[in-house]
Amino acid sequence: MDLYNSIIIGISIVALIIITRILNISFSKIIKLIINSILGAVIIFAINKTTPMLGIHIGLNIVTSIFVGIFGIPGAILLTAINFF
């Protein structure tokens, strides 16, 4: 990891702490959302790898990851269903 990435990560952590203080949101809720979003990305990745023959592809980006992170498995099912329409 080079210096640029280290600086970006440091600034992101500081910004996250400042936002949690301003909005009065507990830091643990933000961490939980981040972890759930990462798990949501893993679920979307698994769907994309296991269902290419059915023509199912969900775009893997921050919005879909957070959506599945918040709503869980039903969110992944909803994104899959939206893919058909």
Summarised one tens digit per residue, pLDDT across range 17-63 is 888 888 888 878 888 888 888 888 888 888 889 988 888 888 888 88
Beta carbons of 39 and 45 less than 8 angstroms apart: no
Neighbours of 37 (CB within 10 A): 19
Say what the pLDDT of residue 80 is: 86
Check whether 76 has a pLDDT greater than 70: yes
Say what the pLDDT of residue 65 is: 85
Check whether 1 has a pLDDT greater than 70: no
Beta carbons of 65 and 37 less than 8 angstroms apart: yes
Report the alpha-carbon distance of residue 71 to residue 47 in Å, rounded.
Answer: 16
Check whether 66 has a pLDDT greater than 80: yes
